[in-house]
Amino acid sequence: MPKVNDASIASTDAKPYWNQPAAELLAQLEGSAEGLKSTEAEARLARVGPNVLQAKKQATALGLFLNQFKSPIILILLFAALVSLVLKDWVDATIVLLIVLGSAILSFIQEYNASTATQKLQAQVSLKATVMRDGQALPIQAEE
pLDDT digits (tens, 9 = 90+) for 94-122: 999 999 999 999 999 999 999 889 888 87
Q: Kindly report, residue by residue over 60-94, the tens digit of the pLDDT.
A: 888 889 898 898 999 999 999 999 999 999 999 99
- Contact call for residues 46 and 81 (beta carbons, < 8 A): no
DSSP symbols for 20-78: S-HHHHHHHTT--TT-B-HHHHHHHHHHH----PPPPPPPPHHHHHHHTT-SHHHHHHH
* Beta-bridge partner residues of 133: 36, 136
Residue 1 has a pLDDT of 44
Closest CA to 44 of 131, 112, 135: 131
Average pLDDT in the 127-132 region?
Answer: 81
pLDDT for the residue numbered 2:
46
pLDDT tens digit sequence for 1-19: 445 554 444 445 678 888 8
pLDDT at 35: 81
